[in-house]
Amino acid sequence: MLHWLLAGGGLKIICLTEKRDNLLMWSHYAAKHSGAVVRFRCVRERDSVLLAAQPINYTKTAPFIATMDEWIRHLTGQQALDYSAHAQRLVTTKSLEWKHEKEWRIIEFGRPDDNRLRLYDQFWPEEIESVSFGCRSDPKEVELIVAAIPPEMAHVEVFVATKRDWQYGLDFRRIK
């Protein structure tokens, strides 16, 4: 599942998940099951930005920039803080409450005045493996989107989710 986050201060993040069938993810990030999930694959030959994805670390305690000892050494000029390493840790750590997301992130630290998504402004056609539409997707819209898939993306599989009978969960029916 893919969703974008454009934070202030030049920070750009793309968030991904390992699971396409998580009910909470569909409810939160795919317009209450009416959106879509794009499945990607890393293409080493293309130097895919997806190769930069890092798994989220889920913990009980919030990350901090530095220990008291590190701050003292920094403020007294003994040792500079590595702000980029600390920032990286801050944006790749989440509460255990979110562990169900199985999230990965690609992070770009840019300039505060630069709002362009340099790393993520496009994906190569071969990076897209499939598109899965939610169980509440409008069938007419799904049909229009499938019809608009360009020839260079003929390999992309398309699925529509359906709710399981008598169970919590989703099944995916291939339509292309």
**From first to last of its 176 residues, what are the pLDDT tens digits of the chain?**
444 444 445 677 888 888 888 888 888 888 888 999 999 988 888 888 888 899 999 999 998 888 899 889 999 999 998 888 888 888 899 999 999 999 999 887 766 566 555 555 678 889 999 999 999 999 999 999 999 999 999 999 999 999 999 999 999 999 98
**R_g over Cα of the chain:** 20
Note the pLDDT of residue 114: 60
H helix intervals, the chain: 23-29, 68-75, 83-91, 139-147
Is pTM, for the whole model, over 0.85? Answer: no
**Of 34, 43, 35, whose CA–CA distance to 4 is shortest?**
35
Under DSSP, is residue 169 helix (H, G, I), strand (E, B) or coil? coil
Collect all residues with Cβ–Cβ distance below 8 Å to 173 and sequence separation of at least 6.
159, 160, 161, 162
Q: Tell me how far apart the alpha carbons of residues 66 and 75 are, in angstroms, rounded to a whole number.
A: 12
**DSSP per residue, 67-82:** -HHHHHHHHTTSS---
Pairing of strands 11-17, 36-40: unpaired
Note the pLDDT of residue 8: 47
Note the pLDDT of residue 44: 84
Pairing of strands 57-59, 93-95: parallel
